[in-house]
Amino acid sequence: MALAAAAVNNFKTVTKVVQTTTDVIYEAPVGFVGVILLAQCANIGSDEETLTFLHNRQVSGSTVTTEIIKDFPIPGNDTANVLSGKLVLETGDTISVSGSSNTDLKFIVSILETFNQ
């Protein structure tokens, strides 16, 4: 009966001011698959900045990191779509970002969490 009351799909939007250190911005929760529907980064400064966007998965006790984009240049006062399709995150998978500025890059990601029975 508790399963019937649980939400099957949850939509989330996560935003982050990108830092020069790598920060995890989302982790797929236990029992759900996270489907990234959109990922964009705006450079609100006037100078070109770079962005790195990573997928992380625990495999046999160690983290396997896959670069989705690495040191991707974003011109000043411009926005980049950093994911051309959907990205499925299994339970425990994370995504993280870092950039060349602590103030000018603003990242937004739209996620569908769906129940994984």
Q: How far apart are CA 117 and CA 7, in angstroms?
A: 12
pTM attached to this predicted model: 0.91
Annotated domain spans of the chain: 2-115
Q: How far apart are CA 106 and CA 100, in angstroms?
A: 12
Handedness of CA 6, 9, 14, 20 (dihedral sign): positive
Q: Work out the burial of residue 2: count CB atoms within 10 Å of its CB; fewer than 13 is exposed, 13-18 middle, 19 or more buried.
A: exposed
pLDDT, tens digit, for every residue of 79-96?
999 999 999 999 999 999
Per-chain mean pLDDT for the chain: 94
CB 44 within 8 A of CB 18: no
Overall average pLDDT of the 43-71 stretch: 97
**Which range is least confidently modeled, 15-19, 58-62, 109-113?**
58-62
Looking at domain 2-115, its CATH class is mainly beta
